[in-house]
Chain A
Amino acid sequence: MAPEKNMDLGKFRNEICDFLNNHIPDDVWEAVAKTTSYFPAFSAVMTMHKLLATKGWSVVNWPEEYGGPGWSDEQRRIFFEEYCSRGLPMMAPQSVGMVAPAIMKFGTAEQKAKYLPPIASGADTWCQGYSEPNAGSDLVSLQCRADSDGDHYIINGQKTWTTWAFEVDHIFLLVRTSSEGRPQAGITFLLIDSMSLPGMEVRPIIGLDGMPEQAEVFFDNVRVPKTQVLGTENQGWTVAKYLLEHERAAGGSFQFVLRRELDKLRTLANVTDDGHGSKISSDPVFKQKCAELEVDWRCLAASENYARRIGSNHPEAAHMASLIKLESMNLTQHISELALDISGTLALVDQQLALHIGSETPPIDPIEVLTVMPTYLNQRASSIFGGSHQIQRDILAKLVISK
Chain B
Amino acid sequence: MSKLPPDILAQLAESAQKFISNEYSFTHRQALASSTIGYSEKHWQMFADLAWLAIPFNEEHGGLGGNIADISGLLEQFGYGLIIEPYISTVVLAGHVLSNANDSPLSQELTAQIISGNVHISLAWQERQSSANVMNIKTTATETEDGYLINGEKISVLNGLNADSYIISAQSQNTKTPSLFFVAADTKGLSAQHHQLYDGHRATTLQLQNVLIPKQNQLVVNAEELLKETMTVGMYALCCEALGSMEKLLEMTIEYAKIRKQFGVPIASFQALRHMISDMYVTLKKTRCLNEQIASQWVHHSPSPQDIAALKVQTGKAAHFISRNAIQIHGGIGMTNELEVGHYVKRLTTIDGLLGNSQYHLASLANSL
| Residues of A bordering B, CB below 8 Å | 131, 134, 136-138, 141, 160-161, 205-208, 210, 214, 273-277, 283-286, 337, 340-350, 364-365, 373, 376-377, 380-381, 383-385, 388-390, 393
Beta-carbon nearest neighbor of A137 in chain B: B262
Report 16 cross-chain contacts, Cβ distance below 8 Å, ordered by A residue.
A131-B332, A138-B263, A205-B338, A214-B335, A273-B130, A273-B131, A275-B132, A275-B136, A286-B359, A340-B353, A344-B359, A349-B196, A350-B196, A384-B328, A384-B332, A385-B332
Contact assessment for A381 and B335 in the assembled complex, using a CB-CB cutoff below 8 Å: yes
Contact assessment for A383 and B328 in the assembled complex, using a CB-CB cutoff below 8 Å: yes
Contact assessment for B262 and A208 in the assembled complex, using a CB-CB cutoff below 8 Å: no
Given known contacts A138-B262, A205-B338, A348-B354, what 16 new A-B pairs fall within 8 Å (CB)?
A207-B336, A214-B335, A273-B128, A273-B131, A285-B362, A285-B363, A286-B359, A340-B349, A340-B353, A341-B357, A342-B359, A345-B353, A349-B198, A364-B205, A376-B349, A377-B349
Contact assessment for B197 and A344 in the assembled complex, using a CB-CB cutoff below 8 Å: no
Kindly state whether residue B342 has any CB partner on chain A within 8 Å: yes
Beta-carbon nearest neighbor of A205 in chain B: B336
Contact assessment for A344 and B353 in the assembled complex, using a CB-CB cutoff below 8 Å: yes
Contacts of B362 in A (CB 8 A): 285
Knowing A208-B346, A275-B129, A377-B346 are in contact, say whether A349-B203 is a contact too (CB < 8 A): yes
Candidates B198, B205, B261, B366; contact of A350 at CB < 8 Å = B198
Beta-carbon nearest neighbor of B342 in chain A: A208
Contacts of B327 in A (CB 8 A): 380, 384
Contacts of B349 in A (CB 8 A): 340, 373, 376-377
Complex CA gap A141/B155 in Å reads 52
Knowing A273-B128, A348-B156 are in contact, say whether A285-B359 is a contact too (CB < 8 A): yes
Most buried by B among A284, A344, A376: A344
Knowing A207-B335, A285-B362, A384-B328 are in contact, say whether A344-B131 is a contact too (CB < 8 A): yes
Contacts of B324 in A (CB 8 A): 380
Contact assessment for A344 and B132 in the assembled complex, using a CB-CB cutoff below 8 Å: yes
A274 to chain B, nearest CB (A): 6
Kindly state whether residue B133 has any CB partner on chain A within 8 Å: yes
Contact assessment for B353 and A350 in the assembled complex, using a CB-CB cutoff below 8 Å: no
Contact assessment for A389 and B328 in the assembled complex, using a CB-CB cutoff below 8 Å: yes
Contact assessment for A348 and B335 in the assembled complex, using a CB-CB cutoff below 8 Å: no
Contact assessment for A345 and B354 in the assembled complex, using a CB-CB cutoff below 8 Å: yes
Complex CA gap A277/B261 in Å reads 53
Complex CA gap A285/B366 in Å reads 8
Interface residues of B in 100-132 (CB under 8 A from A): 126, 128-132
Contact assessment for B337 and A210 in the assembled complex, using a CB-CB cutoff below 8 Å: yes
Contact assessment for B332 and A348 in the assembled complex, using a CB-CB cutoff below 8 Å: no
Beta-carbon nearest neighbor of A347 in chain B: B353
Most buried by B among A345, A373, A383: A345
Contact assessment for A350 and B335 in the assembled complex, using a CB-CB cutoff below 8 Å: no
Kindly state whether residue B350 has any CB partner on chain A within 8 Å: yes
Contacts of B320 in A (CB 8 A): 337
Complex CA gap A254/B332 in Å reads 23
Contacts of B6 in A (CB 8 A): none
Knowing A273-B129, A341-B357, A349-B196 are in contact, say whether A136-B331 is a contact too (CB < 8 A): yes
Kindly state whether residue B291 has any CB partner on chain A within 8 Å: no
Contacts of A365 in B (CB 8 A): 128
Contacts of B264 in A (CB 8 A): 138, 141
Candidates B198, B205, B356; contact of A344 at CB < 8 Å = B356
**Quick one: CB contact mask for B149-163 with A, threshold 8 Å, 1 for yes?**
000000110000000
Knowing A275-B132, A341-B358 are in contact, say whether A348-B353 is a contact too (CB < 8 A): yes
Beta-carbon nearest neighbor of A289 in chain B: B359
**Quick one: CB contact mask for B325-343 with A, threshold 8 Å, 1 for yes?**
0011001101111100010
Beta-carbon nearest neighbor of A390 in chain B: B272
Contact assessment for A344 and B360 in the assembled complex, using a CB-CB cutoff below 8 Å: yes
Complex CA gap A340/B264 in Å reads 38
Complex CA gap A381/B334 in Å reads 9
Complex CA gap A29/B363 in Å reads 36
A336 to chain B, nearest CB (A): 11
Complex CA gap A238/B331 in Å reads 25
Contacts of B128 in A (CB 8 A): 273, 365
Candidates B132, B196, B345, B363; contact of A208 at CB < 8 Å = B345
Complex CA gap A210/B30 in Å reads 13
Interface residues of B in 52-71 (CB under 8 A from A): none
Contacts of B358 in A (CB 8 A): 341
Complex CA gap A207/B362 in Å reads 31
Contacts of A286 in B (CB 8 A): 359, 363
Contacts of A381 in B (CB 8 A): 332, 335
Contact assessment for B197 and A350 in the assembled complex, using a CB-CB cutoff below 8 Å: yes
Contact assessment for A380 and B366 in the assembled complex, using a CB-CB cutoff below 8 Å: no
Kindly state whether residue B195 has any CB partner on chain A within 8 Å: yes
Interface residues of B in 207-263 (CB under 8 A from A): 261-263
Knowing A275-B129, A345-B353 are in contact, say whether A208-B331 is a contact too (CB < 8 A): no
Contact assessment for A208 and B328 in the assembled complex, using a CB-CB cutoff below 8 Å: no
Beta-carbon nearest neighbor of B336 in chain A: A205
Candidates B132, B331, B346, B366; contact of A137 at CB < 8 Å = B331
Contact assessment for A206 and B353 in the assembled complex, using a CB-CB cutoff below 8 Å: no
Contact assessment for A349 and B335 in the assembled complex, using a CB-CB cutoff below 8 Å: no
Most buried by A among B133, B263, B357: B357
Contacts of A277 in B (CB 8 A): 136
A344 to chain B, nearest CB (A): 5
Candidates A134, A206, A274, A348; contact of B350 at CB < 8 Å = A348
B203 to chain A, nearest CB (A): 7
Contact assessment for B363 and A348 in the assembled complex, using a CB-CB cutoff below 8 Å: no
Contacts of A347 in B (CB 8 A): 353
Contacts of B345 in A (CB 8 A): 208, 377
Complex CA gap A207/B366 in Å reads 37
Complex CA gap A210/B198 in Å reads 9
Candidates A138, A275, A348; contact of B360 at CB < 8 Å = A275
